[in-house]
Amino acid sequence: MDYWNDIYWKNNLNKNKLENLDFLKDIWVDKYSDVINQIPKGKCLDLGCGIGQYTKYFKDIGFDVISCDISEEALKTLKSNIPEVHIEKLDMTKNFPFPDKSFDLIVANLSIHYFDYEATKKLLNEIKRVLKKGGYFVGSVNSDKTYKFLIEPKKIEDNYYKEMDRFVRLWNKEQFDDFFKKFNKIVLEEVTTTRWNKIKIMWEFIYKID
Ligand SMILES: C[S@@+](CC[C@H](N)C(=O)[O-])C[C@H]1O[C@@H](n2cnc3c(N)ncnc32)[C@H](O)[C@@H]1O
């Protein structure tokens, strides 16, 4: 049984639940519109796009978005909501099928915190590779302060746990210093917010490649 396709998205895409969701409710990037407005309105990659809140946000402000996810269920729903967007099934732990310097912007909202140390290092290298010089990386990840919300976590390595059917990395400042060494920090804020009506403590970030 595949966690993201069969457990997470099939449950969350139950029609009644979907009808009750405000599609754009948890968009946090508006707070940083002064930074977002500086990014040239070119090509954008939405990594782990889910049903596409951020795809819609960045498409609506003028970006040409490619939306990628490992879950066909999520991509199918995104395509039915936003038919004009290009979707592609992609596993973030593998090499990306894009040439160097393809994107002006990469977005990864709550989607790069599922991987062990080596896979996370490789992923950040791939993100850097496919970003143009001057390109931006915008996203969010779970904070290590959410440890108390995990259900019977089993530690796999530092900051990395198995919780029931899935793996999760919980981030602190030191991990940003390590994984984002080759990026320039523009925004890094730890915030308490809600997502799908549950409390969430997460890091919001905007980095740039010079
Ligand atoms: C918490 S959801 C966030 C979705 C969306 N970005 C949002 O803000 O609503 C995490 C997403 O990451 C995707 N994902 C998990 N592992 C992945 C992988 N190895 N490669 C690509 N996508 C993955 C899941 O299918 C899911 O859509």
Q: For 22-57, how does the pLDDT look when each residue is reduced to its tens digit (9 = 90+)?
A: 665 678 999 999 999 999 999 999 999 999 989 999
The rounded distance, in Å, linking the Cα atoms of 36 and 61 is 10
57 lines ligand 1 (CB under 6 A): no
Check residue 10 and give its pLDDT.
81
Cβ neighbours of residue 97 under 8 Å, at least 6 residues apart? 88, 90
User: pLDDT for 153-177, tens place per residue?
Assistant: 999 999 999 999 899 999 999 999 9
Question: Model confidence at 195, in pLDDT bands (50, 70, 90)?
Answer: confident
Pocket test for ligand 1, best of 26, 69, 122, 142 (most atoms within 8 A of CB): 69
50 lines ligand 1 (CB under 6 A): yes
Question: Is a pLDDT exceeding 60 seen at residue 16?
Answer: no
Domain formed by 3-11+46-208, architecture: 3-Layer(aba) Sandwich (3.40)
Name the E strands within the chain: 43-47, 64-69, 86-89, 103-109, 131-142, 154-157, 160-163, 166-169, 184-195, 198-208
The rounded distance, in Å, linking the Cα atoms of 140 and 130 is 19
- Helical spans, DSSP H, in the chain: 10-12, 15-20, 33-36, 53-60, 72-81, 117-130, 173-179
User: pLDDT for 92-138, tens place per residue?
Assistant: 999 999 999 999 999 999 999 999 999 999 999 999 999 999 999 99
120 lines ligand 1 (CB under 6 A): no
CA 81 to mean position of chain CA atoms: 19
Q: How far away, in angstroms, is 109 Cα from ligand 1 center?
A: 8
| 68, 94 contact by CB (below 8 A) | no
Q: Residue 71: helix, strand or coil by DSSP? A: coil
Domain ranges (residues) in the chain: 3-11+46-208
The rounded distance, in Å, linking the Cα atoms of 183 and 202 is 20
3, two tokens: 């966690």
- The amino acid present at 104, given as its one-letter code, is D
Would the pTM count as exceeding 0.85?
yes
